[in-house]
Amino acid sequence: MADSSFDIVSKVDRQEVDNAVNQAAKEVAQRYDFRGVDAEITFKGDTVTMQANTPERVMAIVDVLRSKLTKRGVSLKALDLGDKEPKASGKIYVLAGALREGLSQEIAKKITKIIRDEGPKGVKAQIQGDEVRCSSKSRDDLQTVIALLKGKDLDAALQFVNYR
């Protein structure tokens, strides 16, 4: 019997992120505590930018965005806010967050190490670019690996695809 396999990837549905940002922008425009304070949120390329006239208001916009992303099924780990401190540019505070896609080499190595150390014996994991391919003779072992990785707190939004 041939080996079964699946890929571990970290992808972001850009349309869902765009929808979440648009919903957050609408809420920010309508909320009374954001009236007349130059508060806004934009999404261009791979970056979500939030700005307002105080750091607290910027963090409030971040909270609104997080709730919208969660409702749309986008992992919060996909948005990298860096040091989480809004930067002042003149009278406006700005916080930019980049979307993270693909597994970094560091995270891919962590995943393969977890599979080697804690996973079932017959499972092989290899890094292929920005994803990890797992293969095994036993489909049950692959299910065990998926459950194992879901239980770990890795710094990436993981999806398991191409299961065959």
Per-residue pLDDT of the chain (164 residues; tens, 9 = 90+): 568 889 989 888 899 999 999 999 999 999 888 887 888 999 998 899 999 888 889 899 999 999 999 999 988 888 888 766 677 777 888 888 899 888 889 999 999 999 999 988 889 999 998 999 999 998 899 999 999 998 888 888 888 898 88
> pTM here?
0.80
To the nearest 10°, report the CA torsion of 81, 85, 88, 93: 60
Residue 68, pLDDT score? 94
CA 164 vs. chain centroid, Å, equals 25
DSSP three-state, residue 126: strand
pLDDT of residue 61: 92
Residue with tokens 């967050």: 97
Q: Look up residue 33 and give its DSSP letter.
A: G
3-state helix, strand, coil in the chain (%, to 5): 40, 25, 35
For 14-99, which CATH superfamily applies? Answer: YajQ-like, domain 2 (3.30.70.990)
What's the topology of domain 4-11+103-161? Alpha-Beta Plaits (3.30.70)
Domain layout of the chain by residue ranges: 4-11+103-161, 14-99
Residue 2 has a pLDDT of 64
Q: What pLDDT does 163 receive?
A: 82
The DSSP element (H or E) to which 150 belongs, if any, is helix 139-150
R_g of the chain computed on alpha carbons: 20
* Structure-token pair, residue 120: 């079932």
